[in-house]
């Protein structure tokens, strides 16, 4: 069996509290985009994960391995498998590259073994793998709350192009949250973002984009702000960081602008991508 695992973008991300267990409560609006990894799984005599990128770990640090063993133990699956991962989503980027791969394994096992799991059962497994995994299971525009386990689809009518830039460095989500301090600042456009997406209000989407982690990431590496300034000056209607970074995205209705941006930045940064929302 072979499947695509799609990346995500945060149009809105606020950290609204810290729980007793150390996790943070979040309010997010996320969209799946047309950038994807490919996973292929076959029944075999032993268990093996291979990846086309040498820098990607293929042991227990990989969410694919974590999701794989969790699905096997939870649902009593005895078979061994070979899993091949073709990696297109960059690491430490804020695009849920690891999470979407873990979600793909959960979906594939559900289909391969006819488990017929409910949304709750799928979500209960997914949240044990990672905070973004429940969203990645369903690959639909959604508001996401709690630690990532409360996923509510949004009837998105607004569409636009996105241009992604990843600088040479990545940012560790774990490290960024470890030094993040809850402050009185609060994003106040959560509901406005949802309404704008539902009502095809592109100007409202641009106005409502928010990422509480962006300033923290800029403190970690000021080059984040340099990329934001470059894309803003290039003509994108709104520019922001996704997740905990380090990918910066610009949005526009003008496909020609994105095409020109690809030509302008392709030799300046190690990763650039023209993409759009799926689903």
Active centre residues (catalytic): 8, 132
The residues, ordered by sequence, that sit 6+ positions from 192 with a Cβ below 8 Å of its Cβ are: 204, 207, 208
Report how far residue 193's alpha carbon sits from residue 202's, in angstroms, rounded to the nearest whole number: 10
Residue 67: alpha-carbon gap to chain centroid: 17
Distance CA 8, CA 89 (A): 10
Q: How far is CA 93 from CA 73, 198, 215, 239, in A?
A: 30, 27, 16, 15
Q: Which two tokens stand for residue 188?
A: 């106040």
CA distance 258 to 113: 42
User: What's CA 85's distance to the chain center, in Å?
Assistant: 17
Q: What interhelical angle do 119-129 and 97-112 show, nearest 10? A: 140
Backbone angles phi, psi at 235, to 5 degrees: 125, 5
- Residue 279's Cα: distance from chain center in Å? 15
Give which of 130, 228, 129 is closest to 173, Cα–Cα: 130
> 81-107 as b/e, with b when 16 or more CB fall inside 10 Å?
bebebbbbbbebbbbbbbbbbbbbbbb
175 — phi, psi (to 5°)? -65, -40
Residue appearing with tokens 């905990």: 244
Report how far Cα 101 is from the mean position of its chain's Cα atoms.
10
């Amino acid at each position: 069996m072979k499947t695509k695992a799609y990346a995500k973008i945060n149009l809105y991300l606020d950290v609204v509290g810290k729980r007793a267990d150390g996790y943070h409560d979040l309010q997010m609006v996320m969209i799946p985009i047309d950038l994807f990894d490919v996973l292929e799984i076959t029944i075999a005599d032993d268990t093996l994960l291979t990846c086309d990128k040498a820098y990607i770990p293929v042991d227990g640090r990989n969410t694919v391995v974590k999701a794989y063993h969790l699905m096997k133990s939870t649902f009593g699956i005895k078979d061994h498998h070979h899993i091949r991962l073709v990696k297109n989503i960059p690491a430490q980027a804020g695009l849920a590259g690891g999470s979407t791969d873990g979600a793909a394994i959960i979906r594939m096992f559900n289909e391969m073994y006819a488990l017929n799991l409910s949304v709750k059962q799928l979500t209960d497994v997914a949240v044990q793998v990672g905070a973004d995994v429940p969203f990645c299971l369903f690959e639909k525009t959604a508001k996401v709350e709690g630690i990532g386990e409360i996923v509510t689809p949004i009837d998105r009518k607004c569409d636009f192009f996105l241009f992604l830039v990843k600088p040479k460095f990545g940012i560790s989500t774990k490290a960024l949250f470890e030094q993040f301090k809850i402050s009185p600042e609060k994003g106040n456009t959560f509901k406005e973002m949802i309404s704008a997406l539902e009502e095809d209000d592109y100007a409202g989407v641009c106005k409502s984009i928010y990422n509480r982690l962006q300033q923290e990431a800029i403190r970690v590496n000021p080059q984040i702000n340099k990329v934001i300034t470059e894309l803003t000056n290039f003509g994108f209607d709104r520019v922001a960081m996704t997740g905990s970074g380090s990918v910066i995205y610009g949005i526009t209705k003008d496909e020609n602008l994105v095409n020109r941006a690809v030509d302008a930045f392709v030799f300046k940064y190690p990763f650039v991508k023209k993409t759009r929302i799926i689903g």
